[in-house]
Amino acid sequence: METHELTKRYGQLVAVDKVSLTVRPGEVYGFLGPNGAGKTTTLRMLLGLVRPSAGTVRLFGKDIAQSLGDVGALIEGPAFYPYLSGRDNLRVLARYAGCPAGRVGLVLDLVDLTDRAGDRYGTYSLGMKQRLGVAAALLKDPKLLILDEPTNGLDPAGMADMRRLIRRLGAAGKTVLLSSHMLGEVQQICDRVGVVSGGRLIAESTVAELRGGARLRVVADPLD
Ligand code: ATP
């Protein structure tokens, strides 16, 4: 997945400013920045939900329009039917998306919800709801999984479960792009990190380099 000088302006405000980002196959990339830095807007452009003011997105060598089937995302609080079980919610989505029925059991296993799959969605904790959202995003077995602040609002146990899940997906070779405002989280679960501030990608590094005490590599001057 690559973007080239991806930009989004809202009137005078430059929400995303010439972001050139590459996520390599098989890596877990952490898009790190404070609230308002432009993370969600960038992710929404990758998904074709927001039209860029300038710049380009290529997913697996193709334009967005041709590649959306290759991407799964959890970008807003997932919308499920509260009175249906987790499993039945996924069955509905699988039918819509034309996925083989067997995928439902598989993704429930992946997100560790098999034991609670028969319970009504409305009884799930927030962490379980988020994990079911990840399961829904995985139904099509996408090449790229995009997660917008997947641990936001979760209690410590929910956060730990979600981080373990992302690490498992990464270890299984899934390409993941996730946003976060917590450096510690990104260091725990990602292979590479990009820091976004004021709409600009200002620094990038591998997590291994950071662990070794290296500083983030500055790729743009935040004050330019
Ligand atoms: P958060 O973690 O709070 O979602 P973020 O890093 O994802 O933060 P964005 O939501 O992408 O940041 O917002 C970047 C900037 O663009 C903010 O200043 C925000 O107010 C502005 N913005 C986002 N969407 C719109 C919109 N539809 N109209 C006007 N301004 C917007």
Measure 38 CA to ligand 1 centroid, in angstroms. 6
Contact 186, 193 (CB under 8 A): yes
Q: How confident is the model at residue 187 (pLDDT cuts 50, 70, 90)?
A: very high
Q: How far, in Å, CA of 179 to CA of 30, rounded?
A: 6
Measure 203 CA to ligand 1 centroid, in angstroms. 20
Residue with tokens 């080239």: 4
**Which amino acid is present at 59?**
L
Q: H/E element holding 29?
A: strand 28-32
| pLDDT of residue 224 exceeding 70 | no
Measure 9 CA to ligand 1 centroid, in angstroms. 10
Q: How confident is the model at residue 62 (pLDDT cuts 50, 70, 90)?
A: confident
CB atoms within 10 A of CB 159: 19
DSSP-assigned letter for residue 27: -
Q: Give the nearest ligand 1 atom to 44 CA.
A: 11
* pLDDT one-digit tens code per residue, 5-24: 999 999 999 999 999 999 99
Task: Reduce the DSSP state of residue 26 to 3 states and report it.
Answer: coil
| pLDDT of residue 88 exceeding 80 | yes
* pLDDT one-digit tens code per residue, 37-61: 999 999 999 999 999 999 999 988 8
Contact 185, 175 (CB under 8 A): no
Mean pLDDT (whole number) for 204-213: 85
Angle CA 79–80–82, to nearest 5: 130
What pTM value is reported for the model?
Answer: 0.94
Q: Give the nearest ligand 1 atom to 33 CA.
A: 6
Mean pLDDT score of the chain: 93
Q: What residue's CA is closest to ligand 1, atom 29?
A: 10
Which of 40, 42, 47, 197 for a ligand 1 pocket mutation test, highest count of atoms within 8 Å of Cβ? 40
Contact 120, 85 (CB under 8 A): yes
